[in-house]
Amino acid sequence: MSFFKFLFISLIFFLLLISCEKYTGFDFTGDVPAETAKIYGLVKNTFTNEPVAKARVTFGNYTTYTDKLGNYSIFYPIQTSEQRDQPIPVTVEAINFYPYQAAVILYPNSNELNVALEYGAPIIRQNAFVSYTFHQDPIYVCQALVIDYQGITDIDSVWATFYFESISSDIKTVNVKMDRISDVSDTEAYYQCIISVTLGDWDLRAGYDITAIDREGFSNSISDASNAMAPDKFLFPPGF
Full residue range of the structural domain in which residue 78 is found: 36-117
pLDDT band at 10 (very low <50, low <70, confident <90, very high): low
Q: How many domains does the chain have?
A: 2
CATH number of the CATH domain containing 110: 2.60.40.1120
From residue 156, alpha-carbon distances to 58, 146, 159, 181 in Å are 32, 12, 10, 14
Distance CA 95, CA 53 (A): 10
| Whole-number average pLDDT of the chain | 86
Higher pLDDT: 205 or 84? It is 205
The pLDDT of residue 201 = 87
- Answer whether residue 96 is part of any domain: yes
- Residue 35 host element (H or E): none
From residue 236, alpha-carbon distances to 131, 142, 202, 219 in Å are 14, 11, 29, 24
Least confident among 17-26, 144-153, 225-234: 17-26
Last residue of a domain, one of 117, 134, 161: 117
Last residue of a domain, one of 90, 117, 144: 117
pLDDT value at 138 more than 50? yes
The pLDDT of residue 1 = 54
pLDDT value at 23 more than 80? no
pTM value is 0.76
